[in-house]
Structure formats: structure tokens, C-alpha cells
């Protein structure tokens, strides 16, 4: 018995090594975003699951075994699958896993000690339990299985990775950035900017994109790339002093951090030279008038302070086209940026403007009429 288990475990190890190249490398390389994007729509096979989530998965499976489950099917051929087979073998229950169901792209499975079948083969199975062997890709695996499962076996899942924003185009554009975006006032800032642009393109809006507070131009480049990808001709107009935070005009101008100061305007110009981007250097309180006659599709307000945000808002509030949006980096947040409160107070003016719809916790004001 012992030698049989050792042989099986050895096969699993051998299989893991053989299949490591590609999946693991892709996840750790700079191209991870685009690789993930392709996989999420075509061949869901990533295997990342936190160890505490795996422990919960296995615990739930143990419960089912104790209740008498005899036949287990595994959805997905992933690192979790190998871990699970290994765990089951180590407790002498390897044979309870009757089959692994995988996408056709899963190859080189001849050495796995469990048969690997297409999802369609679930139609001929009668498992007591189906274990979903992926965190992020669990929805894809369940969708692939559901047309074929005739009974209602107990399903075991773990982790919350499926709740992540999983848009391939978004991840691709993000992975292309050479200069990182500092749009991090709240965790979903970039996602919301991307969604607003996508929605505006679907509506066929015309106008410009404005960014108040460019810093090194990381987000400016992101916005410009997404606009191009959407096939729109919206220019991006970016504002910054490129000389640090101006002297305080208000008690609400509370933020001034050396980590947010970038003065090399020519470097930003070089970085954005090939893009449809206009850079307006100077204090936003004075330069924001550049937008007085523009129709605006999207404004990103990231000045950190009250005075420039208020000045920008006084224009963009009235120039934003229906279907467009105003997004603040510091209207909401989680445990960070206490001293950017002034930007939020400036933005609060929109809460009583019926033309705008704001969902709490987003910092996105959607122009609805
Ligand atoms: C947090 S950084 C912006 C980050 C950038 N939006 C990004 O996503 O990478 C804030 C920027 O606002 C600029 N800023 C603050 N007050 C300003 C003002 N009154 N006029 C122009 N720029 C200002 C600062 O110079 C700084 O570069």
C-alpha cells in the first residue's frame, strides 16, 4: 500500500513539474495581466488559492466524507486539483476522487492518477460531491459543468477571488503602463474610470476627458490608451502645477506630501508625446478655465485638496455631457488619506445636484440628465 501511494504521489510531483512552465511563469511576469485576460475567457486554468482557503475547502470535503460521500468529482485541472489529489492520497482516500473534469486545453494528463474527462462526461457520472478546484475561475468551471450535471450533488468551493473585476481589456491596458498610475484613493478608482469610459463609448458621447492632478502621467496614459482601444477620438486634457502643491488658499487645503510631487514636466511630455493628450501646466484654480467651452465626457479629479477640486468642479459640473461622469479619487476610501478630506468636501456639492447620481462608496458621479 505504502509503495502504491508513494508511486502515485511521485506521479503527481512529476506532473506538476511538467506543467509548471507557462502557468506559473505567466502569473509572475509583467505580462500577467494579458495572460490572465486570455485565460479568463478561453481556458480557465489558473490555480491560485490562498492556503487558508484551501484548508477550508478540504475541511468542507472532510465533512462530506464523514457524512458518507463515496464519489468525488473535481472541476478544473489546476494546482488545487493536484493538491487535493495529494491530500486525499495522503489520508488513504485517493480512490474517492473518481474523475477530474477539465477544459480541452488541459493537456498531458496521461500520468495523473485520476482520469481527466471533458465536462460533457459529467452527464454519465453520479458524484456525491463536486469540488471546484479554483478560486478566481470557479464561476467558469461551474458554468461549464451545469449543462451536463443531471443530479444535484453537494458542491464545495473556497475563496472569494471570483469577486474580482475580471475584464481582460482592462487588465491588458493596465499591464502596458510603464509609469504606474497613482489613482489609488480607493481600491476601485481605475476600474471605475475604465467603466465610465466604456459606458460613454457605448453611448457614443462626444467631448474631452479631463484629469485634474496628473503627477507623472500614469493615469493620463491609461485613460488615453483606453480611449484609443474603445475607438473614440476624445482628447485627454491633463492639469498639474508640475511644481508641487501651491500655497494653501483654504483651511481645507490640508494635503501636501513630497511623494505626490513631480516637477519634471519635460519627462511627462516625452512620455505622453505620441498620445492625443494636451498638458496644461499651472495652478488648476487658474488653468481650469481651459475647459469652459468644452463638452466633457469624463473628469477625474485627483487634486487631493479643496481649492483646485472646487475650481475644477465649478466648470465640469456644468460641462459634463449626459451619460458622462465625474470621478473623485478621494471621495471615498479605506483607512488611508485622512488629509485629502478637502477634495471630498469640494465634491459634496454634487450630492445635491439632481443631474448627478452617486452610489455611496464609489466617488463616481454619473450625469443622468
Ligand atoms: C495624487 S497626485 C495625482 C496622481 C495622478 N492623478 C495619478 O493618478 O497618477 C496629485 C497631483 O495634484 C497636483 N495638484 C495639487 N494641487 C494642484 C493645483 N492647485 N493645481 C495643479 N495641480 C495640483 C499635484 O501637483 C500632484 O501632482
Over residues 42-65, mean pLDDT: 83
Provide CB contacts within 8 A for 192, sequence distance 6+.
327, 362, 363, 364
Provide CB contacts within 8 A for 30, sequence distance 6+.
175
| Residue 171 maps to a domain | no
Q: What is the pLDDT of residue 264?
A: 98
Per the structure, the complete domain to which residue 202 belongs is given by 177-367
Q: What is the pLDDT of residues 132-163, one digit of tens each?
A: 999 999 999 999 999 999 999 999 999 999 99
Report the distance separating Cα 145 and Cα 141, nearest Å: 6
Any bridge partners for residue 126, and if so which?
none
Report the distance separating Cα 113 and Cα 97, nearest Å: 10
Pocket test for ligand 1, best of 186, 215, 226, 282 (most atoms within 8 A of CB): 215
179 CA closest ligand 1 atom index: 9
Over residues 329-353, mean pLDDT: 97
Residue 352 CA, ligand 1 centroid: distance in Å? 26
Report the distance separating Cα 7 and Cα 94, nearest Å: 12
Is residue 197 domain-shared with residue 333, that is, in the same domain?
Answer: yes
Over residues 20-47, mean pLDDT: 30
User: Which residue blocks in the chain are alpha helix, DSSP H?
Assistant: 2-28, 32-41, 51-66, 79-90, 138-145, 168-175, 189-203, 218-229, 265-271, 284-287, 306-319, 341-347
Report the distance separating Cα 59 and Cα 49, nearest Å: 15
| Residue 170 maps to a domain | no
Split into its structural domains, the chain has a count of 2
Q: What is the pLDDT of residue 109?
A: 63
Pocket test for ligand 1, best of 181, 189, 210, 213 (most atoms within 8 A of CB): 213
**Greater model confidence, 9 or 180:** 180
Q: What is the pLDDT of residue 271?
A: 98
- Residue 126 sits in a domain of what CATH number? 3.40.50
Cβ atoms < 10 Å from Cβ of 170: 21
Q: What is the pLDDT of residues 106-127, one digit of tens each?
A: 655 667 899 999 999 999 999 9
| Residue 172 maps to a domain | no
Q: What is the pLDDT of residues 294-320, one digit of tens each?
A: 999 999 999 999 999 999 999 999 999
Q: Which of 5-19, 60-74, 192-206 has the lowest mean pLDDT?
A: 5-19
Beta strands in 72-152 (DSSP E): 72-75, 97-102, 116-118, 129-132
Parallel, antiparallel, or unpaired: how do β-strands 320-328 and 364-367 relate? antiparallel
Q: Report residue 237's pLDDT band, with 50, 70 and 90 as the boundaries.
A: very high
By alpha-carbon position, which residue is closest to atom 12 of ligand 1?
213
Question: What residue ranges line ligand 1, CB within 6 angstroms?
Answer: 181-183, 211, 213-215, 218-219, 239-241, 244-246, 260, 262, 283-285, 302-305, 308
Is residue 89 domain-shared with residue 225, that is, in the same domain?
Answer: no
By alpha-carbon position, which residue is closest to atom 15 of ligand 1?
303
| Residue 122 maps to a domain | yes
Q: What is the pLDDT of residue 175?
A: 96
Three-class SS of residue 355? coil
Provide CB contacts within 8 A for 60, sequence distance 6+.
156, 158
> Would the pLDDT of 24 be above 70?
no
Is residue 204 domain-shared with residue 285, that is, in the same domain?
Answer: yes
307 CA closest ligand 1 atom index: 19
Which residue in the block uniquely carries the three cell numbers 463638452?
A: 295
The alpha carbon torsion through 279, 350, 311, 208 (nearest 10 deg) reads 20
Select from 130, 162, 194 the last residue of a domain. 162
Residue 199 CA, ligand 1 centroid: distance in Å? 26
> Would the pLDDT of 20 be above 80?
no
281: phi then psi, degrees, rounded to nearest 5: -75, 150
C-alpha cell at 35: 495572460
Query: 98 and 125 in contact (C-beta within 8 Å)?
Result: yes
Q: Report residue 46's pLDDT band, with 50, 70 and 90 as the boundaries.
A: low
Three-class SS of residue 235? coil
Q: What is the pLDDT of residue 23?
A: 24
Select from 105, 127, 162 the last residue of a domain. 162
Amino acid at each position: 500500500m505504502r509503495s502504491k501511494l508513494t508511486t502515485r504521489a511521485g506521479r503527481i510531483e512529476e506532473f506538476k513539474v511538467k506543467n509548471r512552465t507557462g502557468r506559473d511563469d505567466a502569473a509572475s511576469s509583467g505580462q500577467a495581466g494579458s495572460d490572465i485576460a486570455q485565460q479568463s475567457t478561453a481556458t480557465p486554468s489558473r490555480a491560485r488559492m490562498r492556503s487558508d482557503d484551501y484548508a477550508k475547502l478540504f475541511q468542507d470535503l472532510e465533512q462530506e466524507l464523514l457524512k458518507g460521500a463515496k464519489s468525488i468529482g473535481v472541476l478544473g485541472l489546476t494546482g488545487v486539483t493536484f493538491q487535493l489529489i495529494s491530500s486525499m492520497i495522503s489520508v488513504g482516500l485517493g480512490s474517492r476522487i473518481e474523475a477530474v473534469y477539465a477544459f480541452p486545453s488541459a493537456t498531458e494528463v496521461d500520468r495523473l492518477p485520476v482520469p481527466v474527462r471533458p465536462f460533457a462526461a459529467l452527464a454519465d457520472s453520479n458524484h456525491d460531491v463536486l469540488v471546484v478546484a479554483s478560486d478566481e475561475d470557479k464561476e467558469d468551471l461551474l458554468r461549464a459543468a451545469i449543462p451536463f450535471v443531471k443530479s444535484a450533488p453537494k458542491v464545495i468551493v473556497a475563496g472569494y477571488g471570483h469577486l474580482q473585476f475580471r475584464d481582460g481589456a482592462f487588465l491588458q491596458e493596465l499591464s502596458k503602463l510603464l509609469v504606474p498610475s497613482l489613482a489609488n484613493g480607493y481600491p476601485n478608482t481605475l476600474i471605475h474610470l475604465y467603466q465610465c469610459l466604456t459606458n460613454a463609448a457605448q453611448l457614443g458621447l462626444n467631448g474631452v476627458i479631463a484629469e485634474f492632478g496628473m503627477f507623472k502621467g500614469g493615469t493620463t496614459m491609461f485613460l488615453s490608451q483606453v480611449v484609443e482601444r474603445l475607438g473614440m477620438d476624445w482628447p485627454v486634457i491633463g492639469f498639474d502645477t508640475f511644481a508641487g502643491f501651491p500655497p494653501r488658499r483654504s483651511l481645507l487645503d490640508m494635503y501636501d506630501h513630497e511623494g505626490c510631487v513631480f516637477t519634471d514636466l519635460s519627462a511627462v511630455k516625452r512620455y505622453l508625446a505620441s498620445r492625443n493628450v494636451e498638458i496644461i501646466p499651472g495652478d488648476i484654480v487658474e488653468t481650469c478655465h481651459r475647459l469652459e467651452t468644452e463638452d466633457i465626457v469624463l473628469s477625474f479629479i485627483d487634486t487631493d485638496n479643496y481649492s483646485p477640486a472646487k475650481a475644477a468642479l465649478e466648470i465640469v459640473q456644468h460641462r459634463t455631457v449626459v451619460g458622462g461622469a465625474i470621478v473623485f479619487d478621494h471621495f471615498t476610501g479605506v483607512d488611508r488619506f485622512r488629509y485629502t478630506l478637502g477634495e471630498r468636501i469640494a465634491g459634496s456639492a454634487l450630492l445635491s445636484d439632481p443631474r448627478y447620481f452617486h452610489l455611496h462608496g464609489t466617488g463616481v458621479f454619473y450625469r443622468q440628465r
